[in-house]
Amino acid sequence: MRRLKAIISYDGTQFSGYQVQPGERTVQAEIERVLAIMHKGEKIKVTASGRTDARVHATGQTLHFDSPLAIPVDKYMKALNVQLPRDIRVMSIEEVADDFHARYSVTGKRYRYIWSCESVQSPFRRQYTVETNGVKPNVEAMQEAAKAIIGTHDFSCFCAANTSVKDKVRTVTTLQFEWCGEELHMVIEGNGFLYNMVRIIAGTLWEVGIGRRDIENVELVVKSMNRDKAGKTAPPQGLYLEKVFY
């Protein structure tokens, strides 16, 4: 038996999220289905760094699982990719120490959020970005407002109401906007993220960018620790889990 760490990429469009849910197509269920085939029906439990919601994408989701198969890791990866549906790909796989844990060993995560600001959104980007109907936000204002978010705070204001997590103090280390052609990317890194946190931050800063919320207001939102003071939860298809740090 050995512990394997896998980095996977998935197009979230046709999944009801990462985590297994009865009757739904999920990323975890697909991977466990394929592992069971490779292990002659034996159930191999997969642990991820965390969940992602329906339609949310990942380019660097990270998993661990324990396997008795002694095949080399590159062949292991190929065997998985041959059986997996094409909207999930294993990008790398390596053997790790037995105490590595995809969820508990996490030291940080990086997410990306993408808006497409062309006057007409490319049909090829409809599932991978959020359309703004040609609206180009004031990115300097968004970047300025982001200063109130960077750092260590109780982020209750950016946490979906239906969560059981008690401690909502997290540290955001990076929150950066960059244009990539006519697409606006928000890159955010931190030691951990609450449920819907990135999408609520994206939605709140977007409102700053289009002049619907003052830059100064964002600091008040953070201090309020009140979800209702923040902006709307931005749509799922703009969000990517890009990297998990250990």
Locate 111 and state its tokens. Answer: 């997410």
Nearest to 61 by CA among 92, 104, 83: 92
- Please identify which of the residues 11, 53, 66, 167 carries the catalytic annotation: 53
Backbone angles phi and psi of 66, in degrees to 5? -110, 135
Instruction: Decide whether 119 or 152 has the Cβ nearer to a second copy.
Output: 119
Alpha-carbon distances, residue 160 vs 107, 195, 210, 233, 234 (angstroms): 22, 6, 23, 9, 12
**Residue 35 near residue 82 (C-beta atoms within 8 A):** no
Distance from C-alpha of 196 to C-alpha of 229, rounded to nearest angstrom: 15
Using CB under 8 A as the binding criterion, the count of chain residues that bind a second copy stands at: 20
* Annotated binding-site positions: 111
Instruction: Decide whether 134 or 151 has the Cβ nearer to a second copy.
Output: 134
For residues 79-138, which are near a second copy according to CB under 8 A?
A: 81, 86-91, 120-124, 126, 128
Binding to a second copy by residue 18, rule CB under 8 A?
no
Nearest to 37 by CA among 83, 89, 106: 83
**Residue 12 near residue 57 (C-beta atoms within 8 A):** yes
Q: How far is the CB of 154 from a second copy (least distance, A)?
A: 35
Binding to a second copy by residue 57, rule CB under 8 A?
yes
Instruction: Decide whether 60 or 203 has the Cβ nearer to a second copy.
Output: 60
Q: How far is the CB of 139 from a second copy (least distance, A)?
A: 24
Quick check: is 66 catalytic?
Answer: no
Q: How far is the CB of 174 from a second copy (least distance, A)?
A: 23
Q: How far is the CB of 110 from a second copy (least distance, A)?
A: 17
Residue type, 76: Y
Active-site residue numbers?
Answer: 53
Positions in the binding site for a second copy (CB under 8 A) = 9-11, 57, 59, 77, 81, 86-91, 120-124, 126, 128
